[in-house]
Chains A and B, each alone.
Chain A
Amino acid sequence: MRATAGTWPVARWGVLGFTAIVLVYLVIPTLVIMPLSFSSESFLRFPPPGFSMRWYEAFAGSADYRAAILNSIKIGVPAASLATVLGTLAALAVVRGKLPGRRLVGALIIAPLVLPQIILAIGLFPVMIRLGLIGTYPAILLGHTVVCMPLVFITVSSSLRSYAPTFELAAMTLGANPWNTFRFVTLPMIKPGVIVGFIFAFTFSFDELILAMFLTSPATRTVPRLLWEQLNFQMTPVIAAATVVLLVLTMGLLLVAALTERHTRAGRRTEG
């Protein structure tokens, strides 16, 4: 756009300045929480009057938070694992299969992610009561599996579409049965998609509030539900400390996901 740059510099700088403002707007709420978590006072004052680690100590010493984090892991890991297996199966069938109505099936699998969770929550609540599962780990675990499956389906589908099925064709021509083809050709090719899908699914489950509000009990309370109850009850910087810790953990996980993707892409590029 050399012409644009030469003729209309004001408009160009206007767009750049506008972009900078919007980007700042995007990161501000996250940035505000960090200094607050080191505040020496219990009220939410900005800038904080003094520095202290007391809210991190309170967070580390809190039995409620410890139980909630444990619950979130106990729910998130199995839910993400189940979602990964089922999402991968669905992606294989939809992308590589030759079914009638594949698009319909694909849309149906994505739907739980798109529809507002409150609808599924009030739908699952009576079902779980009838099954006698309400408030137990299986109830929320299965609920989260349904909403996490689309994430794995999406990442694995795009992995499957990143290479032509001729790879599998070659393996099968050379005499590999379907299982060996999957094990030695398909799986290594889609592995990054599977890993990234698992991480997305786990992060989603770790963050999910609305299903947790309806399907968990105080004994199976997850981190978002605990944060939610605290936000509605009293707002101390413990919440800020907790969110900073969780934020760092989430970002760490997503960084792993990003590096996995980039690593494979770089690998593919050198190979190809």
Chain B
Amino acid sequence: MTQVVNEAGFVPGAARAWRKPWRPGRGNGFLLIAPLTLLCALFVVPLALVVVRSFSGPQPGLAQYIEIVSNPSTAWVVLYTFWTALLVTAATLLLSYPVAFTISRAKGRLLTVCLAMVLIPFWTSTVIRTYGWIVILQRRGILNDILVGSGLIDQPLRLMNDGSGMQIAMIHIMLPFMILPLLSAMRGIDANLMRAASVLGANPLRQFVHVYLPMSLPGVSAGCVLVFISSLGFYITPALLGGQRTMIAVLIEQQASRLLNWPLASALATILLVLTSALFIIYERLMARLGGGKPVGEVQ
């Protein structure tokens, strides 16, 4: 089996293959003292405090959670966040699959150009990219100029008020997070299997549905979980492009730093924490199973 590193860097299987009677660095545990101390003090403890604080407030207990569920505006934000994350995940998958397929087949200069076009936005700051989308999508922005100028519509679209501008930008920001896991799975698919299916009489559609698609599914599920987790926690794009539509992270920030309602902010954060942790565990399991793909970094 080839050496495998997915983008999360986990390959339990590969490490296991080298487990010999004698391992260098048998007593390496002490190396973890410093990293784990930092992690406990500045990650585990703060998160625990958030959870504890979510049960505090004027009436201790579940008061904050009841408030979130019973208040239509907060309940709506939670549901809307979910809906947006689902929508963004589905759209990202549909857009990414053909792109990853093409890149997995590309060679030479075409491959370099395609990869650069995926990786440049990946490494551009979200603030900067959201700013670019504002320029394009605002009322007197490029898109409205083109659409009104060409006579396709009479009134400029209000993309920055109804949440659609935010979704367009979020899909854009999430695309590389879907393309890279897909690519990593697709690079691991042996082209001979498709050839075999073809020899046995399957047309391209059947080859795809019965051979290629099932083999790319680990990449699909890993990418979907990754995009869904990230979409749930979006702050910058909803805050700038969401208009009246708000997502959980924006609400947490408003409650904490503007309204100083820390118990409610903590309860919202706890909901987000539990959801993302659960999904992260699923992702981790998937990554352990996605042992067959080629490492993302090895694509070039």
Query: Which A residues are within 8 Å of any B CB, using their own CB?
Result: 1, 3-4, 7-8, 11, 15-16, 18-19, 22-23, 25-30, 32-33, 36, 44-46, 85-87, 89-90, 92-99, 102-103, 105-112, 114-120, 122-127, 142-143, 145-146, 149, 153-155, 157-158, 161-162, 164-165, 168-169, 172, 178, 181, 203, 207, 209-210, 213-214, 224, 227-228, 231-232, 235, 239-240, 243, 246-247, 250-251, 254, 261-262
Contact = CB atoms under 8 A, between A and B. Distances in A.
Contacts of B32: 89-90, 93-94, 97, 99, 105
B31 A92 contact: yes
B235 A118 contact: yes
Interface string B111-149: 000100110110111111101111110101110010000
A98 B23 contact: yes
Given A3-B198, A30-B132, A125-B256, A97 B25 contact: yes
Given A26-B121, A29-B136, A30-B120, A247 B105 contact: no
A118 B239 CA distance: 13
B151 interface: no
B46 to A, nearest CB: 3
A214 B169 CA distance: 24
B126 A116 contact: no
B12 interface: yes
Given A103-B10, A110-B8, A143-B42, 7 more contacts: A19-B102, A23-B118, A112-B39, A161-B11, A209-B235, A250-B124, A261-B297
B27 to A, nearest CB: 8
Interface residues of B, number: 105
Nearest to B105: A1
Contacts, number: 300
A140 to B, nearest CB: 12
A261 B300 CA distance: 11
B213 interface: no
B66 interface: no
B128 A30 contact: yes
